[in-house]
Homo-oligomer: A and B are copies of this chain.
Amino acid sequence: MFQNFDVISERDAVAGRVERLRGWLADAGFDGMVIPRADAHQGETVAPHDARLAWATGFTGSAGTAIILAERAALCIDGRYTIQAREQTPPEVYEYVAVMETRPEEWLAGAVSEGAVIGFDPWLFTTAAVERLEAALKRKGAELRPLGENPVDLLWEDQPPAPSGAARIHSATLAGRDSAAKRTEVAEALKEDDAAATVLTQPDSIAWLLNIRGSDIARVPVVHAFAVIHASGDVDLVANPEKFSGEVREHLGNAVSLHPVDGFGAVLDKLSGTVRLDRDTCPVWVVKRVEAAGAKVAWGRDPCALPKARKTSAELDGMRAAHRRDGAAFARFLHWLDRALDTGEKLDEIMVAEKLEAFRRDTGALLDLSFDTISAAGEHAALPHYRVNRQSNRAIDSGQHGEVYLVDSGAQYADGTTDITRTLAAGPVDPEIRRRATLVLKGMIAISLARWPKGVAGAHLDALARIALWQQGLDFDHGTGHGVGAHLDVHEGPQNLSRRGTVPLEPGMILSNEPGFYKEGHYGIRIENLVIVTGPEVPPGGEREMMGFETLTLAPIDRKLIDSRLLTDAERFWLDSYHARVFTEIAPLVDQPVADWLEDACAPL
């Protein structure tokens, strides 16, 4: 199994660790420090080596900031982690701070005294983050100062080593372009911008650029590395050389020079002219070193971000194949689950998640999950980011009262990444739940059917997914969708479907379409398909080019959670057509009993 469900609790060790940190900080002349949930690559997942926030606080969630001062300490988290933080982090050591109400820098500014010196690890902070902290401290007459060494690394006795997973070749056949062509494109963009080079610090950009994949962290098939790409198209790649076999080195070729991690500074020292850096992702350490080299820093987006988001037709074909494969596994899973629920088999959240992983593994192509499966029954489904463990695990009640069961999961295959959510009725369905699930479905269909002209971004479309809920005084507290990589990160920028999504949608971008509704303590609903941006083309009878979405995900939507009286003719037509397509594409890939079950599940409403 890729996923494990162990309860990790280091709660009892936290107080001692914080005391040792305080001692170190005092000796080194600091009045406190800030510890983010980040590594030098600012990704969503960190390696065990980089789980410094968890070491210092016990909290293992995917976002948060600790601030340790001499007398006080705070763990700053967002609303989805309130409960988890209380379980993992001792309140006698840390105050819990809700970032929606109080930003970390605000808490810090309120807690420090004039003249205080607060430390931070310049590898783990971006310029944007440092500027926020600096501005807040300055108002109080306090100072933010880089730490020469990170005391967590010094005091963490059994800190796991930095990951050194093997890199592998991602073929030009799967990528649709060879790395040389990509490097030329990025180099041209740098030249047009009068930039001599840019420093790439995001592993998915580097994986995309060099047509490589890796195994440094769970769920995300990237190589932890840094890279400098020059306007010549040459690349300095900075990473543990042990990750690269002779075959991979040959694939990288002469234009890519490999440097060990401790040679990064020397690579940066050679930079001159204008160097483009990304303010939101580049570590301050890199920025300062580039400045010290005498180069001129120009802020700009990582030049790989947009080309990576615009998938090639080979990548799109790969994603389609991955979704057919995944759809077959998911159909087998749904068939099994439906029967198990019907026959009153005893099921719990972990069993179901394990079964789903097993069906995916049966494809023979599963390289990893794309994220830990969210397997959530009843009130757990109301937590959009619920992660089941042996302690939280609960039975699914398909008995007299019934409840919903929500499963949000995905797979990494060599040809593509999947991410699907379905919500199922276990036992009888409360009419309120059915009505609200139908409103969520209306939002998902509205996005599926949307067309729009050039220039429109996610921020402009997000309301289409919500208006049916809004009309009824309901809403959900997450974006409608995120970008998705092609056998890369399941959460990829810059495209997204949310009010913060200001990047225009372009053909070939892949996004999730996942509206939901959550009733705290009771139930949760989410329906998620992945979609490809298509077009532009003039619709029949129309006059202007429009873009639209092609749906990738192939799995039936539970009809027990649909109140068909709430659907318009167009919505019902979409659903029936979608189900017909699911049956046509998936039935040939599964055994007869599953195909028979699928036929019923995909029948017209």
Contacts and interface: CB of A to CB of B under 8 A. Distances in A.
Contacts of A473: 451, 538-546
Nearest to A432: B541
A456 B463 contact: yes
A459 B450 CA distance: 17
A299 interface: no
A452 interface: yes
Interface in A413-458: 446, 449-453, 455-456
A592 interface: no
A463 to B, nearest CB: 5
A543 B452 CA distance: 31
A481 B450 CA distance: 22
A396 B421 CA distance: 57
Interface stretch (A215-223, A250-258, A464-472): A464-472
A194 B519 CA distance: 43
A543 B462 CA distance: 20
A475 B453 contact: yes
A529 to B, nearest CB: 19
Nearest to A520: B543
Interface in A341-384: none
Nearest to A451: B470
Interface in A479-521: 499, 519
A540 B471 CA distance: 10
Contacts of A461: 463
B470 A453 contact: yes
A464 B471 CA distance: 13
A568 interface: yes
A463 B501 CA distance: 14
A101 B464 CA distance: 31
B472 A542 contact: yes
Contacts of A475: 453, 544
A98 interface: no
Contacts of A459: 459-460
Contacts of A470: 450-453, 546
Contacts of A540: 473
A305 interface: no
Nearest to A457: B499
A525 to B, nearest CB: 14
A521 B511 CA distance: 39
A125 B406 CA distance: 58
B568 A474 contact: no
A473 B453 CA distance: 8
Contacts of A462: 460
A473 B546 CA distance: 6
Contacts of A467: 446, 450-451, 464
Given A460-B460, A461-B463, A539 B471 contact: yes
Given A451-B470, A451-B471, A470-B453, A499 B544 contact: no
Contacts of A474: 542-544
B568 A472 contact: no
Contacts of A538: 473
Interface string A298-329: 00000000000000000000000000000000
A395 to B, nearest CB: 28
Interface in A567-592: 568
Contacts of A456: 463, 499
Contacts of A446: 467
A475 B385 CA distance: 38
A248 B332 CA distance: 81
A539 B472 contact: yes
Contact of A471 (B449, B460, B471, B568): B449
A456 B473 CA distance: 14
Contacts of A464: 463-464, 467
A342 to B, nearest CB: 32
A456 to B, nearest CB: 7
A473 B499 CA distance: 24
A557 B451 CA distance: 27
A386 B595 CA distance: 61
A432 to B, nearest CB: 9
A449 B451 CA distance: 21
A250 B330 CA distance: 79
Contacts of A455: 499
A90 to B, nearest CB: 34
Nearest to A538: B473
A226 to B, nearest CB: 33
A71 to B, nearest CB: 31
Given A451-B471, A459-B460, A473-B543, 12 more contacts: A449-B471, A450-B467, A450-B471, A451-B470, A451-B473, A452-B466, A456-B499, A460-B499, A471-B539, A473-B538, A473-B539, A473-B542
Counting from the closest, the 7 A-B pairs by CB-CB distance are A473-B542, A473-B539, A451-B470, A460-B463, A473-B538, A472-B542, A452-B470
15 contacts: A449-B471, A450-B470, A450-B471, A451-B467, A452-B466, A453-B470, A453-B475, A459-B459, A460-B460, A463-B464, A464-B464, A473-B540, A474-B542, A519-B543, A568-B568
